[in-house]
Amino acid sequence: MAHKVGIIGGDGIGPDVVAEGLKVIRAAGVELDTVDYHLGGQRYAEDGTVLPDEVLDEWRGLDALYVGAVGTPEVPPGLIERGLLLKMRFSLDLYINLRPFEAPGHDFVVIRENTEGTYAGEGGFLRQGTPHEVATQGSVNTRHGVERCVRYAFELARSRPGKHLTLVHKTNVLTFAGDLWERTFNETAEDYSDVETAYNHVDAACIYFVQSPEQYDVIVTDNLFGDILTDLGGAVSGGIGFASSANLNPNGVSMFEPVHGSAPDIAGQNKANPTAAILSGAMMLDHLGEHDAAARIRKACADKESLTGSTTEIGDLIAGRL
């Protein structure tokens, strides 16, 4: 039976890279029953729609969601990010953001907590627009939210040959949130004596990402650190055009999207590298149980140097290899 997948091409380069992803999935022999959703900055500009609750409810009945990128420069910053992407993550409880990287001769995975931290929306303004205005934006960290994320990371580390997990945080300054993360990490580690553990401050991790990424196998970190670190991860492993991601709810519908954004500066120019979206499609296929097709797509994308040309040329090249 065909897998029922919701497609949100979105804005800018999003629809173009998703089209290549779907082309490659088809070439791999997997049949998808797709449902298109016209959402994003452009849709908002048209009629003010961001993400209706009825649409969210519909999504709960799907097998997966496949997203290109959302956001247009004309729409106020945050409106689409919060109203669509984060609402999707929070409402569907996509609490694991899994981002794999391949540095030369070595691969590692970042598990980013995806529903809490500074993204949770805590805070606000006081006396906004006056000389005495105050803005706060706190970081929300729950034992439940941290533990389920850390536990997922330990399970993943256990399943990999490296069996190594690094916690990345900033415990020397964030002595409340950092303490909760560190205690949760250390207590959970007691259930995984076969997994070796390490800890890095996030600033030091930035150095290691560039200088010695081979020290990493699985990394677990909070939402904002994970956001920043995974852009860096993309940069040190072939470029952001290759960085794929999964937003997972292990007990519900999950969403797959490239790490990159809508890149409005190159939209419509057939210039964007669709590989990140294609590899996100492969992650989706794995999630749908189509392991053979997923492995074949990954293999077709393995030689990064050969994946040059226009968006459609790269898509055709990869599809051709299948």
Interface contacts to ligand IPM, rule CB under 6 A: 81, 85, 227, 259, 261
Pick one of 11, 20, 102, 227: the residue that binds Mn ion (CB under 5 A): 227
Catalytic option among 37, 44, 119, 192: 119
Decide: 27 and 279 in contact? Cβ < 8 Å.
no
Catalytic option among 36, 57, 179, 203: 203
CA neighbor of 30 nearest in space, from 64, 57, 72, 55: 64
Assess 63 for contact with Mn ion (CB under 5 A).
Answer: no
Question: Judged by CB, which is closer to ligand IPM: 184, or 244?
Answer: 244
* Backbone φ and ψ of 96, nearest 5°: -110, 125
Assess 222 for contact with Mn ion (CB under 5 A).
Answer: no
Residue 147 touches which member of ligand IPM, Mn ion, none, C-beta under 5-8 Å by kind: none
Catalytic option among 170, 192, 216, 222: 170
Assess 257 for contact with Mn ion (CB under 5 A).
Answer: no
Residue 178 touches which member of Mn ion, ligand IPM, none, C-beta under 5-8 Å by kind: none
* Backbone φ and ψ of 105, nearest 5°: 75, 10
Residue 62 touches which member of Mn ion, ligand IPM, none, C-beta under 5-8 Å by kind: none
Say whether 227 is catalytic: yes
- CA gap 289, 64 in Å, rounded: 12
Q: Quote the least distance from Cβ 59 to ligand IPM, whole Å.
A: 18
- CA gap 270, 250 in Å, rounded: 35
Say whether 222 is catalytic: no
- What is the biggest distance separating any 2 CA atoms in the chain, rounded to whole angstroms? 62
Q: Quote the least distance from Cβ 256 to ligand IPM, whole Å.
A: 12
- CA gap 73, 182 in Å, rounded: 39
- Please give the residue whose beta carbon sits closest to ligand IPM in the complex: 81
Question: Judged by CB, which is closer to Mn ion: 78, or 320?
Answer: 78
Identity of the residue numbered 42? Q
Q: Quote the least distance from Cβ 110 to ligand IPM, whole Å.
A: 11
* Backbone φ and ψ of 169, nearest 5°: -155, -155
Segment contacting Mn ion (CB under 5 A): 34-42, 46-54, 174-182, 223-231? 223-231
Catalytic option among 231, 271, 286, 316: 231
Say whether 170 is catalytic: yes
Interhelix angle 202-211/223-236, rounded to 10 degrees, is 10
Hey, which residues between 88 and 127 contact Mn ion (CB under 5 A)? Answer: none
Question: Judged by CB, which is closer to Mn ion: 32, or 240?
Answer: 240
- Which residues is 32 bridged to in the sheet? 3
Decide: 259 and 69 in contact? Cβ < 8 Å.
no
Q: Quote the least distance from Cβ 193 to Mn ion, whole Å.
A: 34
Question: Judged by CB, which is closer to ligand IPM: 188, or 221?
Answer: 221
Decide: 100 and 107 in contact? Cβ < 8 Å.
yes
Between the two ends of the chain, the Cα-to-Cα distance in Å is: 21
Say whether 292 is catalytic: no
Identity of the residue numbered 297? I
Q: Enumerate residues 6+ apart whose C-beta is below 8 A from 20.
A: 274, 277, 278, 311, 312, 314, 315, 318
Residue 85 touches which member of ligand IPM, Mn ion, none, C-beta under 5-8 Å by kind: ligand IPM
Say whether 208 is catalytic: no
Q: Which residues are catalytic?
A: 119, 170, 203, 227, 231
